[in-house]
Amino acid sequence: MSNNSFYRTTPEEALKVVEKEISKGHLKIFLGYAPGVGKTYSMLNEANRMLKRGQDIVIGYLESHGRQETNSQVDSLEVLPRKKINYNNMILEEIHLGEVLKRNPKIVLIDELAHTNAPGSKNKKRYEDVLEILEHGIDVVTTLNIQHLESLNDVIKQITGITVRETIPDIIVENAEEVVVIDITPSALQSRLKRGDIYKNENIARALKNFFRGGNLNALREITLRQTAEEVDDDLAEYMKKHNIRENWHTAERVMVCVSANPFGKKLIRRGARIAKRYKCEWIVATVNCTHALATTPSKKGLDMLANHFKLAEQLGAETITLTGKSVSRELVRFASQKHITQIIIGHANRSFWQMVFRGSPVTKILRHAKDIEIHVIPDNRSF
């Protein structure tokens, strides 16, 4: 048998894969938009409740930053020894992987997931330690700030002017069993900072002028809430797919604007942009490359116009897509269903008499078949 031959997994091998997945530990992340929102405090608070319920839970690594409020939450929790590493005549402390695995608790608390380990550690990054612990079937509860997500690195720099060096792959958060957002208002966070609850007094003024500016905090907070909303949307989509749920659940607004090689498209796009801004939601501008025998082939002028429509849409923040099929209405309805669109914006079709006789109106068909979707039919008031 050659190496390229098809190989069928045996039931025994498939069972081993499933058992391995089941035996892995679960990851829970307390996520915040800035230092001081209360991630570590919340993690410890929950850990104490779990301990009182008889759960086998320990602290693998805790970084209290000298905050008395956080230290008071350690309470009766067992604290595992740290690994001491001599580096440049300094003693640095990291998670002691050996101690965690030897103790083999049900749950271990590990603060600051994005931390870079000291040189000489087994793993370069703390999240790699966490992955190893999860592989041994131990549940991990950890903390993370949104600015440490790799995909947001450029966005965070644009907002704060700071390049974040310690990042983690997005997949770590995506694969977490639970993400808990710890949220307080920016003004409340600034008050904590001014009271000295986050940094020492000599660092407060500088922090308020830099990272902890009101505009920065508002932007970071919105990014955090949007990021977690996207994770929830992905989980919901996976659930609906798994359970073969076809109807549209209106958990969040999603707008689709339908355009063609027609000057009227600009009006539709601007209307879509206003609606998307009102709901602060994602929106898509779609066109259909119709392959029907009676479909009109767009001229070069028409194609250029369509390209300009897409350019305008992207400038206004929309995603653009070209669909292909024999039926404009069928492709639009199918795509809207896949993307869980809640509102469709469309203009009256500019079809010839014979096209209307043999093929009907796309608007009418969309109104008939797009169930649970709000349809905005925008009149073309141009003079002819």
The reply to whether 169 and 304 lie within a common domain is: no
Q: Which two tokens stand for residue 40?
A: 């570590």
CA separation for the pair 235, 247 (Å, rounded): 16
Q: Is residue 249 part of a domain?
A: no
Q: Is residue 233 part of a domain?
A: yes
Whether the CA torsion 108, 110, 114, 119 is positive or negative: it is: negative
Single residue among 242, 277, 306 that ends a domain in this structure: 242
The reply to whether 174 and 51 lie within a common domain is: yes
Which CATH number is 136's domain given? 3.40.50.300
Q: Is residue 163 part of a domain?
A: yes
Rounded to a whole number, what is the largest CA-CA distance in the chain? 86
Q: What are phi and psi of 346, to 5 degrees?
A: -145, 150
The pairing of strands 57-61 and 374-378 is unpaired
Range of the domain at 269: 255-378
Q: Which two tokens stand for residue 303?
A: 């194609």
Find the helix packing angle between 362-369 and 328-338, rounded to 10°.
30
The reply to whether 166 and 293 lie within a common domain is: no
Specify the residue for token string 């006789």. 357
CA separation for the pair 245, 372 (Å, rounded): 13
Q: Is residue 4 part of a domain?
A: no
The reply to whether 213 and 130 lie within a common domain is: yes
The reply to whether 261 and 197 lie within a common domain is: no
Q: Is residue 225 part of a domain?
A: yes
Q: Is residue 247 part of a domain?
A: no
Residues facing 140 on adjacent strands: 27, 108
What is the reported pLDDT for 6?
38
Single residue among 213, 242, 271 that ends a domain in this structure: 242
The reply to whether 318 and 224 lie within a common domain is: no
Query: Mean pLDDT, the chain, as a whole number?
Result: 84
Q: Is residue 360 part of a domain?
A: yes
What is the reported pLDDT for 249?
47
From the list 293, 354, 285, the residue with the least C-alpha distance to 315 is 285
Which CATH number is 287's domain given? 3.40.50.620
The reply to whether 113 and 224 lie within a common domain is: yes
The reply to whether 30 and 174 lie within a common domain is: yes
DSSP 147: G
Q: Is residue 218 part of a domain?
A: yes
Residue pair 79/177 in contact (Cβ under 8 Å)? The answer is no
Single residue among 200, 215, 242 that ends a domain in this structure: 242
Give the total number of structural domains in the chain.
2
CA separation for the pair 319, 246 (Å, rounded): 23
Residue 38's contacts (CB-CB under 8 Å, 6 or more residues apart) are 32, 182, 184
Q: What is the pLDDT of residues 109-118, one digit of tens each?
A: 999 999 999 9
The reply to whether 269 and 230 lie within a common domain is: no
What is the reported pLDDT for 358?
40
- Across 81-110, b (16+ Cβ under 10 Å) vs e yields eebeeeeeeeebebbbbeebeebebebbbb
The reply to whether 226 and 277 lie within a common domain is: no
Residue 307's contacts (CB-CB under 8 Å, 6 or more residues apart) are none
> Which of helix, strand or coil describes residue 372?
coil
Long-range contacts, 230-236 (Cβ 8 Å, 24+): 231/173, 231/174, 231/179, 234/174
The reply to whether 268 and 232 lie within a common domain is: no
**CA 216 from centroid of its chain's CA atoms:** 19
- Sheet strands side by side (includes 374-378): 319-325, 283-290, 255-258, 343-347, 374-378
What is the reported pLDDT for 340?
84
The pairing of strands 83-87 and 90-94 is antiparallel
Q: What is the mean pLDDT of each run of 10 residues along the chain (384 residues)?
A: 43 52 84 94 94 96 81 87 92 95 98 95 96 97 95 88 91 91 93 88 84 90 82 55 52 86 91 90 93 80 94 94 92 89 83 46 79 83 47
The reply to whether 216 and 279 lie within a common domain is: no
